[in-house]
Structure 1
Amino acid sequence: MQPNKEKLIELAHYKMPFGKYKGDYLIDIPEYYYTWFKQKGFPEGKLGFMMQQMHEIKINGLEELIYTIKKQFSK
């Protein structure tokens, strides 16, 4: 499966809209936060999908990929 470039760029620049990490980029939120959501249930919709993706990126040690995308494709 080929990653969608636009989706990765959007993920790299997406900010948390609520809670303790409101305003932080999803990539900057610690892995334990995503693990907690995985156990309790991710939010519905786009945010939940992006949080699931970020959880997978973090547990697989791919954060540097997102930081690189964020830097190369600044908004």
Structure 2
Amino acid sequence: MNADDLLLLVTRQMPFGKYQGRLIADLPGHYLAWFAREGFPKGEIGRLLQLAFELDHNGLSSLLDPLRKR
């Protein structure tokens, strides 16, 4: 993980799918869990989705709150 990835979670929007246009940090846990089961996409989006899943799954999503206020 790159430290800049945390900032990208609160600024990058989901580019496709049911939640297209929603910030990656705001994606629901069940959607992230679906990717964890089925496979994350390749590239930056996949890396960010995997990080968002790990934060959500481990109850650490509040770590992003200070970054949202920037």
TM-score normalised to structure 2 length: 0.87
Over aligned residues, Cα RMSD in angstroms? 1.6
Mapped partners of 1:38, 1:67: distance in 2: 23
AA at the equivalent of 1:7: D
Structure 1 residue runs of 4+, over 2 Å off? Answer: none
Percent identical residues: 39
Mapped partners of 1:59, 1:52: distance in 2: 10
TM-score normalised to structure 1 length: 0.82
Equivalence map 1:1-75=2 (5 Å): 4=3, 6-71=4-69, 73=70
Structure 2: which 5+ residue stretches go unaligned?
A: none
- Following superposition, the deviation at residue 44 of structure 1 comes to 0.5
AA at the equivalent of 1:36: W
Mapped partners of 2:17, 2:35: distance in 1: 12
How many pairs align? 70
Deviations 1:14-34 (A, max 9, x none): 110011100001111110111
Q: Does the 8 A contact of 2:5 with 2:48 survive in 1?
A: no
